[in-house]
Amino acid sequence: MPVQNIPEIFIAKKKLLPDLLVHDYRMTEDVVKNKANLSVNMFSFLQTGQKHIHFANVSVAVNEKQSILIKHGNCLFTELLNQEQVYYCKLFFFSQKILDDFLTKHKFSFAGSNGSDKKDAPFFVIANDEYINRFISSLAAVTQLISTTGQHLLAVKFEEIMLYLVCKYGQPFIRYLNALAKSDQQSLLKKTVENNVVTALKIGKIAFLCNMSLSTFKRAFTKEYNENPGKWLQKKRLQKALELLQDNKQKPSEIFREFGYKNLSNFSTAFKNEFGISPREVPST
């Protein structure tokens, strides 16, 4: 599946990307692990359904009682319907310039905010409350206005929600904003790979999360680990599967999918080739 460039896919061709943009996003079918490139930062105010996001080194799930602020960059989106049979969220995009202007204007509020939470996590989960619900409703009215007036009001609404979240969450949110403003030029390969050992992600999607083409990823991986990524990941995943089976925590039929195998037979064959016994024959420790 091709990469979705967001929010560019929501904008008419030849139209410049504004510093602030609101988009109502609806779906009537589940979407699993779509590749997305966020060119700007984004609030996702979820109204119905569930959202799962897989980043380079961490994943997160939110429901309609939560909103989430997401850092620009590559990620995988899974969006699931609830009983309403529709997925709906209001997206509020903002450029790095808008964020920098906000931090500069309110720098007095950020004294003593050195350090970071969760090692600069690419997201911040927000618990919806009455104020946030009213804010979401107000965005709908603003987006109906003509472009120039609407942009001015969106700037006011952006400052409003940011100041409210500073009041609601204090220093953890302030530290997140400061981390969000930092440039990110460090290679994510090692961190991304080692945080996705025990997942079903294929090499292509891990490469995507590293912001690399598959061929570039394979070369960089081999240089870092002195081994082909497919073989390395298979060994690591089978070793983890062995540990789970030895601890009697799960059965082979319960774990093969989470290690990237389409069926139990393929998993059993790979397991036996690696350890000389079938998964069912693993003795308890």
Please name the residue that has the structure tokens 């059965």: 251
Kindly report, residue by residue over 210-248, the tens digit of the pLDDT.
878 898 889 888 988 889 999 999 999 998 899 888 887
Same domain, 146 and 210: no
Residue 122 and residue 58 in contact, taking contact as beta carbons nearer than 8 Å: yes
| Nearest-angstrom CA–CA distance, 8 and 82 | 27
Under DSSP, is residue 39 helix (H, G, I), strand (E, B) or coil?
coil
Domain span including residue 97: 4-181
User: Residue 71 pLDDT more than 80?
Assistant: yes
Cis peptide before 283 (omega within 30 of 0): no
Same domain, 177 and 246: no
Same domain, 119 and 12: yes
Decide: residue 3, CB within 10 A, 0-12 exposed, 13-18 middle, 19+ buried: exposed
The number of domains in the chain is 2
In 3-state terms the chain splits into helix, strand, coil percentages (rounded to 5) of 45, 20, 35
Which of 181, 203, 229 is the C-terminal boundary of a domain? 181
Kindly report, residue by residue over 23-44, the tens digit of the pLDDT.
999 999 988 889 999 989 999 9
CA neighbor of 173 nearest in space, from 184, 163, 158: 163
Same domain, 39 and 13: yes
Q: Which two tokens stand for residue 184?
A: 């990110």
Same domain, 61 and 173: yes
Look up the CATH number of the domain holding residue 79. 2.60.120.810
| Nearest-angstrom CA–CA distance, 78 and 52 | 5
Average pLDDT for 154-174: 94
Which of 181, 210, 228 is the C-terminal boundary of a domain? 181
Same domain, 117 and 231: no
Residues in a beta bridge with 76: 35, 54
Same domain, 173 and 217: no
User: Residue 284 pLDDT more than 80?
Assistant: no
Which of 140, 164, 181 is the C-terminal boundary of a domain? 181
User: Residue 116 pLDDT more than 60?
Assistant: no
Same domain, 165 and 237: no
